Amino acid sequence: MIKCIDVSDLKVGMYIHDLNCDWMSHPFLLKRFLVKDEAAIRKIADAGIHEVYIDTGKGLDLPHAPTISEVKHKLEQEIIDLASREVPTERRVDAAAEYGRAQLIHNEANLIVRSILQDVRLGKQVQLEMVEPSIEKMTSSILRNGGALLSLCRIKDKDNYTFQHSVSVGALMVSFCNAMNMSREVIHHAGIGGMLHDIGKMKVPDSILNKPGKLTEQEFAVMKCHVVESKQILLSTQGISDTAVKVAAQHHERHDGSGYPEGLKGEEISQLGQMAAIVDVYDALTSDRCYHKGMSPTDALRKIFEWSKFHFNPVLVQAFMRCIGIYPIGTLVRLESGKLGVVIEQNDNNLVSPKVKVFFSTKSNTYIPPEVVDLSRSMGAGGADKIVSHESPAKWRIDPMRFL
């Protein structure tokens, strides 16, 4: 049985099933291992980890600890309660109307960031005038309908992760800042900081940056230096704003002080730095890498919400969930009726009841004529249809993006 326990309750002889943090927050080669000595427990605590999941079938038990299903159910109920009383940002056009323009903007941004990162690797200066028009186009697209562009940002090639992740973080920062009603100027500079936040990785050896597996402690220490390198590169960039530099310099700081490079805590971290930390982890969790399979957006939001007890600002996490939606556009979901569909639009008055394009019946195991269902209005013989789960596209061998 898998249970969640506080690190203070961890004992020698327990089996770690999950360290319950993003991979760049811990120095362990393995996520699952038997705790053999007190040194391992101290190492976990020193990494800023507060809670872990243990496997009682492989090690000692803690009788009163909640099971993973109990924790998951509690978190999901809290998220649904929050979503039910929050109102997302209004959209000027439908996602379908924005999708074509968003594809062009996203493709162009990927080409620009790839070029900039390659230039930095060759020792060249960052040309800010290459980035700014792309951020302006992203901002305009997100103001029309943020879901269209953000759905495209989930599509990544693991071999080109670094620059595609940079584009995604830039777009997510623009959307997050817009949802927080920040000025157009702040949105612009935060987007630049997001797009260039990992530029220091170009100073990290390829053998570490593209290693197809978990980093050693020594490699992990080298990788963490990319934040300082990013800050230095941006400080030497002509025309860069302090806002953009803070986004890059603070995206690995954590609310409880367990982050790096400076170990800043709480309000010592700028608001945009705190927002960048949430955005960076969300995009990393939802991306396929050579050493792990990306989570669904819904699972990633639940983990970030869980970690907001320690690592992230809880108020900002809730604002981010409102910005993204509990079921972001492009999410494959199964309805109570047994139909599979892809989320094509959020509902402004109900984040847990989006518009879904259904196209497959799990009861007959066949495709059905595509139909758009507004779950906030759908009424059948048994009442309103609703989402019962989000589904893995790989499990059903379905690419939900082709139905957008």
Q: Which of 270, 269, 254, 267 is nearest to 310 (CA)?
A: 254
Rounded distance, CA 150 to CA 146, Å? 6
- Single-letter code of the amino acid located at 378: S
Rounded distance, CA 155 to CA 157, Å? 7
Does residue 261 have a cis peptide bond before it, meaning omega lies within 30 degrees of 0? yes
* CB hemisphere CA count around 22 (13 angstroms): 32
Rounded distance, CA 362 to CA 341, Å? 11
Please answer whether residues 336 and 388 qualify as being in contact, where contact means their C-beta atoms are separated by less than 8 angstroms: yes
DSSP tag of 343: E
What local confidence, expressed as pLDDT, does residue 381 receive?
45
Report the side by side order of strands in the sheet with 332-335: 366-374, 350-361, 339-347, 332-335, 387-390
Q: DSSP letters of 106-174?
A: HHHHHHHHHHHHHHHHTTPPP-HHHHHHHHHHHHHHHHHHHHHHHHHHT---GGGHHHHHHHHHHHHHH
For the chain, the distance separating the N- and C-terminal CA atoms, rounded to the nearest angstrom, is 39
Q: Which of 129, 101, 130 is nearest to 113 (CA)?
A: 130
Q: Which of 123, 135, 121 is nearest to 187 (CA)?
A: 135
What local confidence, expressed as pLDDT, does residue 12 receive?
96
Residue 308 CB neighbours (<10 A) = 19
The torsion angles phi and psi of 86, rounded to 5 degrees, stand at -105, 150
- SS3 string, 361-372, reads ECCCCEEEEEEE
What local confidence, expressed as pLDDT, does residue 88 receive?
54
* CB hemisphere CA count around 272 (13 angstroms): 29
- Report CA 113 to chain centroid distance, whole Å: 19
Which residues are within 8 A (CB) of 160 and not within 5 positions of it... i.e. 6 or more apart? Answer: 114
pLDDT in tens, the chain (404 residues): 999 999 999 999 999 999 998 766 677 778 899 999 999 999 999 988 999 999 999 999 999 999 999 999 999 889 888 776 655 556 678 888 899 999 999 999 999 999 999 999 999 999 999 999 999 999 999 999 989 999 999 888 776 888 899 999 999 999 999 999 999 999 999 999 999 999 999 999 999 988 887 788 899 899 999 999 999 999 999 999 999 999 999 999 999 999 999 999 999 999 999 999 999 999 999 987 766 778 888 899 999 999 999 999 999 999 999 888 888 899 999 999 999 999 998 886 778 889 999 999 999 999 999 999 999 875 544 456 889 888 888 888 888 888 87
Rounded distance, CA 229 to CA 227, Å? 5
- Report CA 64 to chain centroid distance, whole Å: 32
- Four-residue CA torsion sign, 110, 23, 71, 250: negative
What local confidence, expressed as pLDDT, does residue 273 receive?
98
Rounded distance, CA 24 to CA 118, Å? 24
Q: DSSP letters of 282-337?
A: HHHHTS-BTTBPPPPHHHHHHHHHHHTTTTS-HHHHHHHHHHH-SS-TT-EEEETT
What local confidence, expressed as pLDDT, does residue 225 receive?
95
